[in-house]
């Protein structure tokens, strides 16, 4: 089943920037290959000046809150871990924070729903440094 937006997040103000991805690569769990997000749900973010000066690549792909995150998000915590929605897998694939957090490239995203490139496969060009994810 393709990812869908989490309907409980109706009070969010998000700016979605269309991405230029090669062939519309899906972001998948590195362990079980379950699709976590498609390019249409990936959000761009800006790398800060220090990150650009260091040549620091993004270690995260920021996405809109998606339906498979519902159970975790409805716990009401301000931040937490995101685990693969495949019940047979459950691998940690990212994290979220309603307060936001800084990407490894220096960009700040609020609220932040991040899939870690080291724990996911596929592409996604999450912005800033823009290196492709591993394993895809």
In a domain, 96, yes or no: yes
CB-based contacts of 12, cutoff 8 Å, min separation 6: 65, 111
In a domain, 1, yes or no: no
End-to-end CA, the chain: 19
Q: Which domain, by its residues, includes 101?
A: 7-121
In a domain, 117, yes or no: yes
In a domain, 22, yes or no: yes
Answer with the residue of higher pLDDT: 20 or 78.
78
Given this model, what pLDDT does residue 131 score? 36
pLDDT grade, residue 115 (50/70/90)? very high
In a domain, 65, yes or no: yes
Per-residue pLDDT tens over the stretch 17-63: 344 444 467 899 999 999 999 999 988 887 766 656 676 677 888 99
Given this model, what pLDDT does residue 1 score? 53
Given this model, what pLDDT does residue 43 score? 87
Indicate the number of domains in the chain.
1
In a domain, 81, yes or no: yes
**Counting runs of H as helices and runs of E as strands, what totals does the chain give?**
2, 10
Given this model, what pLDDT does residue 53 score? 62
Torsion of CA 75, 76, 77, 83, to 10 degrees: 40
CATH classification of the domain holding 22: 2.170.150
């Amino acid at each position: 089943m393709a990812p869908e937006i989490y309907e409980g997040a109706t009070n969010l103000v998000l700016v979605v920037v269309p991405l230029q991805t090669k062939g519309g690569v899906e972001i998948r769990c590195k362990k079980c290959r379950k699709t976590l997000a498609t390019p249409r749900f990936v959000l761009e973010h800006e790398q800060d000046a220090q990150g650009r000066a260091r040549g620091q690549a993004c270690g995260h792909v920021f996405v809109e809150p998606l339906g498979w995150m519902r159970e975790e998000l409805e716990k009401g915590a301000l931040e937490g871990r995101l685990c693969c929605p495949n019940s047979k897998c459950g691998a940690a694939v990212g994290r979220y924070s309603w307060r936001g957090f800084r990407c490894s490239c220096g960009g700040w995203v609020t609220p932040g729903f991040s899939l870690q490139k080291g724990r996911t496969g596929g592409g996604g060009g999450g912005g800033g440094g823009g290196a492709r994810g591993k394993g895809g």
